[in-house]
Amino acid sequence: MTVAPKGSSHRVPGLVLVDHWFDVPLDHARPDGETLRLSAREVRAPGREAAERPWLVFLQGGPGFAAPRPFDAGGWIGRALRDYRVLLLDQRGTGRSTPVCAATVTLRGSPARQAEYLSHFRADAIVRDCELVRRRLLPEGERWTVLGQSYGGFCTAHYLSSAPEGLAAALFTGGLPPIGADCETVYRHTYPRVLERNRRYYARYPGDVERVGRVAARLRRGDVRLPCGDVLSPRRLQLLGLLLGFSDGMEQVHYLFEEAFLPDGDELGYAFLRGYETLLHYDTNPIFSLLHEACYTEGVASRWAAQRLRDEHPALDPDGDGPLHFTGEMIYPWFFEEIGALRPLAGAAGLLAEKSDWPALYDAERLLRNEVPAVAVVYDDDMYVDRDLSLRAAAGIGNLRVWTTNAWEHNGLRADGERLLGRLLDLLAGRA
């Protein structure tokens, strides 16, 4: 691995931030081949003693989202810095690391070459990146602790399965993956949770049955374009349901629809259309759509599982009777027709959906024998990572303490990170 010189450092209130850059293999099976650039940001509390604290590396949710950009010493980062210095890693393809987007991927040539390139951006490659970075930053033989949020927890489970020798401890927040469950099983658990969130949303905001229905009726008449130029269709409107599993998600959706129309008219206002774009990130984070089903896939093809199972839930028909129901964390093949930023990647997306030789992500026997201290919070009512599948996975991971709670939604680490992480660290230390 080639390592770029340490970058600049700067301060925000209560924090010292130091940039690190690394070159890593695109394909870890070919270490002398093409490389990618990784960006990582070290976060320290001010003071010389901070440099002596052990490392905690944060693996962000996603897939395909960059690490947080801290503004101050609040939240989970502030709590972590009492015991650690933190490394915020922009996982390959995200943030300031070598980006994955239509402009870069299409340079590969044919859809087959694009798909082959994209196949190297799953959890297995991310963990191998982490191990190269750990060996560069830490003294020989020293381990670090990993904190995995959501998809970052999927990566953490792979870490325990493939390279536990690099870990001092592992922490999961809403991210125990459905080990042993295929895509169809995942969606058979999560679709009912999405429909339940719709019920709660309309129970909280009954006036939105009419508001949302009126917007959908206008979209069915056609020729409504988002500021980016894409057509906003009823089924694309349904994607706002991705927000309903967050603690503030229902409010964000409700306030958007409150002012959807221009006064005394039947036309949607610019603020509504621009607000819709602001709330969703399929266009700016394409890995999420390209590799989401691959998060669950080992040795079989996903074949657009979410689309196939959607037909089992007629309430999700965008042109059906009754209230318009929103969808959730599901990816559909028509994304690559209707979302302009994804359209150039349609061929590669189709090939990835048919790819059947994905490597295994988890070694069940090794996980059962795990000796790395591990703790996890599982949310009782998680819309994205099913509670029952998470607890089933937990039973197969040795040395793991699980805390189940209904105190937070899936975004508990963001919403109340100091308290949540503090509790996890107490569990890890045997103080709780």
Residue 144 identity (one-letter amino acid): W
Query: What is the number of structural domains in the chain?
Result: 2
- Residue 199's CB is within 10 A of a number of other CB atoms, namely 12
Residue 141 falls inside a structural domain:
yes
Residue 153 falls inside a structural domain:
yes
- At 140-172, the pLDDT tens digits run 999 999 999 999 999 999 999 999 999 999 999
Which stretch of 149-153, 260-264, 373-377 has the lowest confidence by average pLDDT? Answer: 260-264
Residues 156, 39 share a domain: yes
Residue 58 falls inside a structural domain:
yes
Q: Given this model, what pLDDT does residue 240 score?
A: 98
| CA–CA dist 266, 431 (Å, integer) | 59
Cβ-defined contacts of 198-204 (< 8 Å, 24+):
198/241, 198/244, 198/315, 198/323, 198/325, 198/326, 200/250, 201/244, 201/250, 201/253, 201/254, 201/326, 202/323, 204/250, 204/254
Residue 421 falls inside a structural domain:
yes
Q: Given this model, what pLDDT does residue 1 score?
A: 47
| Residues 278-293, mean pLDDT to the nearest whole number | 98
Is 42 in contact with 17 (CB distance < 8 Å)? yes
- At 40-56, the pLDDT tens digits run 999 999 986 666 899 99
State the residue for tokens 């070459």: 113
Single out the residue in 354, 380, 408 at which a domain terminates: 354
> CA quadruple 224, 227, 230, 234: dihedral positive or negative?
negative
pLDDT band at 234 (very low <50, low <70, confident <90, very high): very high
| CA–CA dist 294, 309 (Å, integer) | 16
Residues 167, 97 share a domain: yes
Q: Given this model, what pLDDT does residue 9 score?
A: 87
Residue 182 identity (one-letter amino acid): D
Q: What is the largest CA-CA distance in the chain?
A: 69
- At 161-200, the pLDDT tens digits run 999 999 999 999 999 999 999 999 999 999 999 999 999 9
Q: Given this model, what pLDDT does residue 48 score?
A: 64
Mean pLDDT computed over every residue of the chain: 96
Q: Is 319 a catalytic residue?
A: no
pLDDT band at 25 (very low <50, low <70, confident <90, very high): very high
> Among the residues of 28-84, which ranges form H helices?
75-80
Q: Given this model, what pLDDT does residue 4 score?
A: 42
Residues 350, 267 share a domain: yes
Q: Which of 97, 150, 289, 302 is catalytic?
A: 150
Nearest-CA neighbor of 360 among 27, 92, 121, 123? 123
Nearest-CA neighbor of 367 among 395, 328, 325? 395
Q: Given this model, what pLDDT does residue 344 score?
A: 98
| CA–CA dist 7, 270 (Å, integer) | 41
* % residues pLDDT > 70 (the chain): 97
- At 310-362, the pLDDT tens digits run 999 999 999 999 999 999 999 999 999 999 999 999 999 999 999 999 999 99
Residue 262 identity (one-letter amino acid): L
Residues 224, 121 share a domain: no
Q: Which of 20, 158, 325, 410 is catalytic?
A: 410
Q: Given this model, what pLDDT does residue 47 score?
A: 83
User: How far, in whole angstroms, is CA 182 from its chain's centroid?
Assistant: 18
Residues 225, 128 share a domain: no
- At 72-128, the pLDDT tens digits run 999 999 999 999 999 999 999 999 999 999 999 999 999 999 999 999 999 999 999
Q: List, edge to edge, every strand of the sheet that includes 15-25.
A: 9-12, 15-25, 35-44, 85-90, 55-59, 144-149, 167-173, 374-379, 400-405
Residue 115 falls inside a structural domain:
yes
Residue 1 falls inside a structural domain:
no
CATH assignment at residue 165? 3.40.50.1820
Q: Is 389 helix (H, G, I), strand (E, B) or coil?
A: helix
6: pLDDT strictly greater than 70: no
Residues 227, 110 share a domain: no
Burial 410-423 (b: 16+ CB within 10 A, else e): bbbbbbbbbebbbb
Q: Given this model, what pLDDT does residue 104 score?
A: 97
| CA–CA dist 408, 378 (Å, integer) | 10
Residues 246, 108 share a domain: no
Residues 293, 222 share a domain: yes
Residues 201, 119 share a domain: no
Q: Which residues contact residue 294 at a Cβ distance below 8 angstroms, ignoring those fewer than 6 apart? A: 119, 122, 302, 352, 355, 358
Residues 129, 151 share a domain: yes
5: pLDDT strictly greater than 60: no
Residue 234 falls inside a structural domain:
yes
Residue 63 falls inside a structural domain:
yes
Angle between the N-to-C axes of helices 249-258 and 208-220, in degrees from 0 to 180, rounded to the nearest 10:
60
265: pLDDT strictly greater than 60: yes
Single out the residue in 354, 374, 404 at which a domain terminates: 354
Nearest-CA neighbor of 38 among 108, 74, 87? 87
Residues 52, 14 share a domain: yes
Residues 173, 188 share a domain: no
Q: Is 8 a catalytic residue?
A: no
- At 29-41, the pLDDT tens digits run 999 999 999 999 9
Query: And the tokens for 139?
Result: 């003294």
| CA–CA dist 426, 423 (Å, integer) | 5
Q: Which residues contact residue 257 at a Cβ distance below 8 angstroms, ignoring those fewer than 6 apart? A: 208, 211, 212, 215, 272
Q: Given this model, what pLDDT does residue 399 score?
A: 98
- At 204-219, the pLDDT tens digits run 999 999 999 999 999 9
Q: Is 150 a catalytic residue?
A: yes
| Residues 47-68, mean pLDDT to the nearest whole number | 90
Q: Given this model, what pLDDT does residue 50 score?
A: 64
Single out the residue in 354, 373, 403 at which a domain terminates: 354
Q: Domain containing 190: what range? A: 183-354
